Amino acid sequence: MIFRQFIDPETSTHTYLLADERSREAVLIDTVLEQFDRDRTLLRELDLTLLYTLETHVHADHVTAAGLFRKELGSEVGVSAAAGVADADLEFADGDVVRFGSMALEILSTRGHTEGCVTYVCREQNVAFTGDALLIRGCGRTDFQEGDAAVLFDSVRNRIFALPDEMLLFPGHDYKGRMVTTVG
């Protein structure tokens, strides 16, 4: 697998690039509008075909570049069906799978920060992308946009913490420079 982790210094948002080495098919998770040129340049440099631009969640503090990638590169935009995004190409339900090359991302509903939060799990590579449901030593806020602390607690405890202890977890944001943790 080709893997890159980026951070937008202005918003402390992490963006992830995953690609299958053989097919050169790729996905981007949680793009940032202001970083469109950076991400598009890397896709070209690595000779990757962007199939999907995926969102772990949507709300006002996360201005995505997904629409630009769709327009410029023809990728499909994927979000949770519960997010209520009118122009999404793919609306995910819990348990759906996104495939690119020989890779697969399983969608886990991890509601609570927002109603439409999901975690993307790649079991073959033992990694998960938790968005704002679970940060490193914290979690996303629950005091706006359909947030619910009890639902988030359940999502973290019974969905994310049910993954294997050695699974690497990559958050949607980090404000202290932390990049990765594990379930354990």
What pLDDT was estimated at residue 83? 83
- Can you read off the two tokens belonging to residue 121? 């799990």
What pLDDT was estimated at residue 114? 83
What pLDDT was estimated at residue 61? 66
| Domain membership of residue 58 as a residue range | 2-174
Look at residue 16 and tell me if it is in a domain.
yes
Look at residue 179 and tell me if it is in a domain.
no
Nearest to 172 by CA among 142, 145, 136: 136
Does the pLDDT of residue 26 top 70, yes or no? yes
Look at residue 183 and tell me if it is in a domain.
no
Mean pLDDT of all residues belonging to the chain = 93
Which of 18-22, 45-49, 146-150, 161-165 is predicted with the least confidence, judged by mean pLDDT?
A: 146-150
CA distance 142 to 135: 13
Does the pLDDT of residue 138 top 90, yes or no? no
CATH number at residue 161: 3.60.15.10
Look at residue 139 and tell me if it is in a domain.
yes
Does the pLDDT of residue 112 top 90, yes or no? no
pTM of the model: 0.95
Look at residue 180 and tell me if it is in a domain.
no
Nearest to 119 by CA among 56, 26, 182: 56
- At 34-81, the pLDDT tens digits run 999 999 999 999 999 999 999 998 876 678 999 999 999 999 999 988
- Average the pLDDT over 124-135 and give the result: 94
Q: Which amino acid does the sequence have at 37?
A: D
What is the strand order of the sheet 97-100 is part of?
97-100, 103-109, 118-122, 127-131, 168-171, 181-182
Number of domains in the chain: 1
What pLDDT was estimated at residue 120? 98
CA distance 144 to 100: 34
